[in-house]
Chain A
Amino acid sequence: MISQTFKEAVSAVWSMVVGLKVTGRNFLQPQITVHYPRQVVTNLDTYRGHIELVAKDEDPFKAKCILCGQCENNCPSGCITIESVTRETPAPPAPEPAPGEEAKPAPKPKKVKELTQFMLDYNLCSLCGLCVQHCPVDSLRFSTDVYLAGFSRGEFEFELLEMLQKRGKK
């Protein structure tokens, strides 16, 4: 009984020595601080900045977005507002009916929805990622700008399409 108590005490004291060894070893090891602004971090793959639009592979000025509205509907904070226009492309001229066939009905003019504005109110965004998950065509992703900073709320209301086009120009 008594020897048990003493054994425990000795092992407790030993555990304290082990603790000192752990912190002592860390003390001697090199620092891992990145001295911003003289240095910047590089491992940003997993960083969740504000969301941004992904451009089409063939056209860096157009987003992949198909305007399904899933992101807007699923955003719990209601920070996405999408504006679009519907354009009618003139119908292609009806092909000449081959002799002996009935003339086909003229094709209807095509209606194409086009994204004109993708507003993100980043002040409200909780970075939950639901919009990114729900996008059926992977048109949304997180940006990696760790050093985003501003002085007023207005500076965090982003027009993502414009940002995409700016990126495209670079």
Chain B
Amino acid sequence: MPDMNTLLAGIPAELTRLVLALIGLMAFIGLNGLALVWVERKVAGHVQRRPGPYEVGPFGLIQPIVDAVKLVGKQLATPAGADKFLFWLAPLLSFLPIFLLFIPIPFSENLVGLNTNLGVLLILAFAGLNVLALCLAGWGQNNKWGLLGAGRAVAQSVAYEIPLLLAVLAVSFQTGSLSLAEITAKQGAWPWQWNIVVQPLAFFLYFICAVAETNRAPFDLPEAESELTAGFHTEYSGMGFGLFFLAEYANMIVVCSVATVLFLGGWQGPVEPGWWWFLIKMYALLVVIIWFRWTYPRVRFDQLLNLNWKWLLPLSMVNLLATAFAVKLFA
């Protein structure tokens, strides 16, 4: 694109790329948020043998848009006694880092915001910000349910981040890289050339931890409706709640994208490589997460932590050590 280049002359190419990526990502996150809400409700409906959204638009497709409009139109109320600054900082803080998480993800060979060789690290580092947001939200709203939810969120995130990291590290050991593009490139097009064949345990652990990290059922304790009304977002109305909601779905997309890159060959799909394979794999994982939600009852908090400290952590350690040995022996 020569005229594009003259137009943008003087601005570093990397910067324009980043800005364009950010704009694209905004559209991507917004659209996928809407699509996921629809998919979630459709799956929920069909699992319970109901139709799900049905009346608004064909197959209820307009329903999430109408819901979003409703959320935007609602009054933003700050509860009495709340810390106003922290209270409104929290939803922003939960949503804004999402863009950072998406930037290093290679949707196809060239469709990547920032091709850094520390992509995995970037994602893992900034994914932790979400729990800070939840913590602030719970703390700032002067509500006991919120505080309890925030406490749970912290305990849960801190616990599950460790096996998640170790599972990701195992893949990094194996490919010898922290760059998502390189990890993708090292896998082949066909399923038996993907990392999931070599690292099935890591995939299993990663996926469980990812569900827990995104606070999805059966690990949605920070917002357990049955005991905490709505947990950390009890007091949020309108778009305050909307941002948390969007962030949850965006986080789901991130963890599924990372799983796609690390374990399922990324965009190098069978036959013809391309971004569509990436999206198909990502959506398949998302549907599985949604399927989990409508299958499993919520775990108790002690069960949640027991599962992590007694099973996932030792297993991921063993997996990492075994990978390290194998790499030393065969590489």
Contacts and interface: CB of A to CB of B under 8 A. Distances in A.
Chain A binding surface, main DSSP class: helix
Contact of A33 (B47, B50, B291, B292): B50
B291 A31 contact: no
B46 interface: yes
A30 B296 CA distance: 22
A27 B50 contact: no
Given A19-B295, A19-B296, A23-B291, A31 B51 contact: yes
Interface in A4-50: 9, 16, 19-20, 22-24, 26-33, 35
Contacts of B48: 26
Contacts of A35: 51, 54
Contact of A9 (B43, B294, B311): B311
B328 interface: no
Interface in B266-289: none
B296 A27 contact: no
Nearest to A18: B295
Contact of A23 (B54, B294, B311): B294
B43 to A, nearest CB: 7
B295 A22 contact: yes
B295 A23 contact: yes
26 contacts: A16-B295, A16-B296, A19-B295, A19-B296, A20-B291, A20-B292, A20-B295, A22-B295, A23-B47, A23-B291, A23-B294, A23-B295, A24-B291, A26-B46, A26-B47, A26-B49, A27-B43, A27-B46, A27-B47, A30-B49, A31-B46, A31-B49, A31-B50, A31-B51, A32-B49, A33-B49
Interface of B: 43, 45-51, 54, 291-292, 294-296, 311
Interface of A: 9, 16, 19-20, 22-24, 26-33, 35
